[in-house]
Amino acid sequence: MTTRLLLTADVARLVRHDGIAESFRALAGHIAADYVRWAEFDKTPRVANHSDDGVIELMPISDAALYSFKYVNGHPKNHRVGLPTVMAFGVLADVATGTPRLLSELTLSTALRTAATSALAAQRLARPGSRVMALIGNGAQSEFQALAFHHLLGISEIRLFDVDPAATDKLVRHLSGITGLTLVRCRDTAEAVRGADIVTTVTADKRNATILTPEMIAPGMHVNGVGGDCPGKTELHRGVLERASVFVEYEPQSRVEGDVQQMPADFPVTEFWRVLRGEAPGRRSDDEITVFDSVGFALEDFATLRWLDERAQALGLGQPLALVPAMDDPKDLFGELALTTGTPADQVDEAALPVAIPAGLRAALLHCAPHRKDAWTTPPSSRKSDEALVAPAT
């Protein structure tokens, strides 16, 4: 079985083919469908390796049929060296055999799934009829959030603020032509959130920040907190959380990484899957303040990889990748090295030999035959003549 490889260009072709609105709808549908199967998953918080500059994480999860993991980093200073803050790839594998069926980029796809998850949560937690959203942080994730809320919730006005005006310029350049969407530049966070039904914070700095303070929050607001997603990195003043009903993806992970890391261990939170299954209420009144403390959970990537796998097969996207050797005898792994003396020299694919073999030794191996009894041990420069090599042993 070959593994399907999806590159960023393949995911971009998929989204252009289906349309970004339909892509968000389909992705949100896959995420919701997997969240309601919560009990079927073997779950764990992601494994994180932190440094002064950022974090590198592995995010595994599986059900009875499929296993997935995502490799992802978060390095806020990367733009200074021309690299994205977030880079990711992932694997979808069959549980029954362990065979990797899909290896996919997840840098672009993570932005799509994060926005789809945010909008999915807001459908249950924001006031019905919400039309105005403040978007604080206008970096790489911002356009995805704006379009997901526009297409999935009917947001028609987005009030923008970023400490870097060039980031807002970028967003406006990308989205100013969207029919039915008004973009409003604001001088600061306080101006942006004034009169908003929904506030999305999606900032990148790895520090304890207070992007939103209690006096900015009006009754009935829904806060979509995206940027607080690792230890020591927050966006919301604890007073905002104290006034709100707080929803999280996976409590053991969110207590460590989310904005609720500021709160005592008994601070009440509701896992979002319970809302989707009808086991817990979402918004209970028009005046209630709700917070979705989003950190990103492996189940969302599992759903994303399922969606990518289905659409790539339907559209013929990607390319086969010989990631796992195809062997006539699955126990003969050594044979993949093509070092066997019974292999005629003219049948050995030199390009397939391990590149670590020194050039001189490679040449010797390629010319080995069973009757050359000293070819494995004697350097080419000191070998006997061909006549001596074929002489009977004494």
How far apart, in whole angstroms, are the C-alpha atoms of residue 370 and residue 390?
A: 10
Catalytic residue among 197, 229, 301, 309: 229
Are the CB atoms for 207 and 233 separated by under 8 Å? yes
In 3D, which of 212, 225, 203, 220 has the Cα closest to residue 291? 225
Q: Phi first, then psi: what are they for 137, rounded to 5°?
A: 100, 110
Q: 10 Å Cβ neighbour count for 250?
A: 23
Contact 106, 90 (CB under 8 A): yes
155, 149 Cβ separation under 8 angstroms: yes
- Strands 208-212 and 234-236, how do they pair? parallel
Q: Residue 56: beta bridge partners?
A: 49, 73
Angle between the N-to-C axes of helices 298-315 and 107-125, in degrees from 0 to 180, rounded to the nearest 10? 120
Sheet containing strand 157-161, strands side by side: 182-185, 157-161, 132-136, 198-201, 222-225, 290-293, 245-248, 270-271
Q: Is 290 helix (H, G, I), strand (E, B) or coil?
A: strand
Judge whether 229 counts as a catalytic residue: yes
Residue among 158, 282, 128, 294 at smallest CA distance from 223: 294
Distance CA 203, CA 162 (A): 9
Catalytically active residues, by annotation: 229
